[in-house]
Amino acid sequence: MNRLRLKDGIFAGIPVFIGYFPIAVTFGLLAVSVKISLLETFSFSVIVFAGASQFVGLNMINAGIGAGEIVLTTFLLNFRHFLMSASLSTRAAFRRGLIPFVAFGITDETFSVASMEKREFSESYMLGLNFTAYSGWVAGTVAGYVAGDFLPPVLQESISICLYAMFVAILIPAVRKSYRAGIIALIAGLINSVLGYFAIFGSGWNIIFSILAASMAGMFFFREE
**Binds another protein (CB under 8 A): choice among 113, 127, 129, 188:** 188
Task: Please report how many Cα atoms fall inside a 13 Å half-sphere around the Cα of residue 223, on the Cβ side.
Answer: 1
Phi, psi of 121 (to 5 degrees): -140, 160
Nearest to 207 by CA among 65, 104, 103: 65
d(CA 131, CA 113): 13
- Report the SS3 class of residue 222: coil
Subset of 3-42 contacting another protein (CB under 8 A): 22-23, 25-26, 36, 40
- Which residues does 65 contact at the CB level (< 8 Å), separation at least 6? 202, 203, 204
Of 11 and 104, CB closest to another protein: 104
**Binds another protein (CB under 8 A): choice among 82, 119, 149, 200:** 82
Q: If binding is defined by CB under 8 A, does position 184 make contact with another protein?
A: yes
Q: How far is the CB of 158 from another protein (least distance, A)?
A: 4
Helices (H) and strands (E) in the chain, counts: 13, 0
Of 2 and 158, CB closest to another protein: 158
> x/- binding map, residues 91-110, to another protein, per CB under 8 A?
---x-x--xx-xxx-x----
Q: How far is the CB of 96 from another protein (least distance, A)?
A: 8
Q: Judged by CB under 8 A, how many residues of this single chain contact another protein?
A: 95
Q: If binding is defined by CB under 8 A, does position 214 make contact with another protein?
A: yes
Q: If binding is defined by CB under 8 A, does position 86 make contact with another protein?
A: yes
- Report the SS3 class of residue 3: coil
Of 10 and 191, CB closest to another protein: 191
- Residue 169: C-alpha distances to residues 1, 76, 131, 134 (Å): 41, 21, 26, 22
CB under 8 A: which stretch of 1-9, 10-18, 79-87, 131-139 binds another protein?
A: 79-87
Q: If binding is defined by CB under 8 A, does position 130 make contact with another protein?
A: no
